[in-house]
Amino acid sequence: MIESDESLSDMLLHAWHILPVALAFAMPVAVLGGLLLYWLRQGSLASTLTVLVLTPVTATLSGVLGVSGFMFSTTLTTLLLVCLLVALVTVPAAIVLGRAIARRSVWEREARERERAAEAARRELVAWISHDLRSPLSGIRAMAEALADGVVAEPGEVAGYAQRINGEATRLSTMVDDLFELSRITAGALRLELTAVPLRDVVSDALAAQTPLAQRKRVTVRSSAVEWPVVLGSDPELARIVRNLVANAIRHTPPDGTVAVEIGVDGRDAVLAVGDGCGGIPEEEIGRVFDVAFRGTHARTPEPASTTAGGGLGLAITKGLVEAHRGRIGVRNHGDGCRFEVRLPLAQGR
């Protein structure tokens, strides 16, 4: 028992003597590792974890070598091999773990950003509904009360009021249809039956439908095609894509301006381009053009209030419909306006 106590005292005394030497060799390595961690604080998580694993292992090796006086005995060699094996196992594990954590962190950050964007879009949509639906409803109510109270009695005035009520009701119906279509798109409930559709017929019908609007705005609509492609799509939804883009272009083009519709083929894609004379879109806003209820600022050509005014859903619906066709849509400033370009997959064998 006495010998054991003496051995323990000798070990503690020996440890007390070698501790300063071990610290003298290990501390610089630890400090260097800390500086590397600070330098890598904005770097990849895998690199940070690798340094975090290697620092204590390397510091331990340095302390052991310093205490041994670099005299390689069997015990020291064994210890070095053990540390090397630990490093070989922990460093790859740290790299894999770091990459996994980084991917999860990026995914979580993107998910939070998408959630914030969706919440902002919901708030904008609620504000849009409260304003744009309330205005025509107020007008309808006021005109209906005037008719009911006999304030308007002349046949001509009554007919005028009836026409305006019908116009406001049509506008409300269009808004409700847009909301329903948008809800189907955002909920993933839109199911398309894709067939081979000649784009010539779709564009011709859509332009014919927008002729009255163009005539009221005194806007010229011109179409040209290098080649009329056949696309893989759904006829009603393709027609709505073209109508929305052409109607948007007409609304934002000043009187006596021109809307250009161009059709062509690029590789395996059919290309539909619609150019307007809106005056251009500010660069800080061009990325939001397809957002729900986004209408832009005065930088685009202002539009007088009318029953044809857009509710801010047309382009969002158009983007959803294009993507449902496995296509792409983009916009850029071009000349005195902007150019919307839609790419749709060609039907097989076309």
Structural contact between residues 344 and 235, judged by C-beta atoms closer than 8 angstroms: no
The interaxial angle of helices 134-148 and 155-186, nearest 10 deg, is 150
Name the percent of the chain lying above pLDDT 70.
76
Q: State the chain's mean pLDDT as an integer.
A: 78
Considering only the top CATH level, what class is 120-186?
mainly alpha
- CA dist 154 to 77, 139, 141, 314, Å? 111, 19, 19, 39
State which H helix or E strand residue 330 sits in: strand 328-334
Strand partners, 344: 270
Lookup: tokens for 19: 């501790």
Alpha-carbon gap, residue 237 to 324, rounded angstroms: 9
Q: pLDDT, tens digit, for every residue of 21-53?
A: 667 777 777 788 777 777 776 766 667 777 777
What's the pLDDT at 330? 92
- Of 3.40.50.970, 3.40.50.300, 3.30.565.10, 3.20.20.70, the CATH number of 195-345 is 3.30.565.10
What's the pLDDT at 45? 64
Task: Name the residue with tokens 């501790």.
Answer: 19
- CA dist 96 to 42, 92, 109, Å? 18, 6, 20
Domain boundaries, the chain: 2-108, 120-186, 195-345
- Whether this prediction's pTM lies above 0.75 is answered by no
Per-residue pLDDT band at 13 (split at 50, 70, 90): low
Lowest mean pLDDT among 5-14, 25-34, 225-234, 269-278: 5-14
Lowest mean pLDDT among 56-60, 204-208, 263-267, 324-328: 56-60
Lookup: tokens for 52: 């975090």
Nearest C-alpha neighbor of 48 from the set 59, 29, 34: 34
Per-residue pLDDT band at 1 (split at 50, 70, 90): very low
Nearest C-alpha neighbor of 316 from the set 340, 347, 291, 299: 291
